[in-house]
Amino acid sequence: MKYDNNVKDAFIITRDDNSTMEFVPSTDGLYHYDFNLSIKRRLELEKIQKAKTMVIQTVEGIKRNFTKKEQEQADKARRLYVTVGRPSQKIFEDMLRKGKLVNTNITFQDYRNAIQIYGKDLGDIKGKTTRKKPSQMQIITFDKPSPKNLILSIDIMFFYWFDISDYC
Question: Residue 127 above 60 pLDDT?
Answer: yes
Q: What's the pLDDT score for residue 160? A: 55
Of residues 35 and 155, more confidence is placed in 35
Q: Give 114: exposed, middle or buried? Use CB within 10 Å, 0-12, 13-18, 19+.
A: buried
Q: What is the mean pLDDT of residues 148-159?
A: 61
* Main-chain dihedrals φ then ψ at residue 135, nearest 5 degrees: -70, 155
Which pLDDT tens digit goes with each residue over 10-32? 888 888 877 788 888 888 888 88
Which pLDDT tens digit goes with each residue over 64-96? 899 999 999 999 999 999 888 888 888 999 999
**SS3 at position 159:** strand
Q: What's the pLDDT score for residue 154? A: 62
CA distance 16 to 104: 62
Which pLDDT band holds residue 165 (cuts at 50, 70, 90)?
low
Cβ count within 10 A of residue 36: 8
Residues contacting 120, CB < 8 A, separation 6+: 89
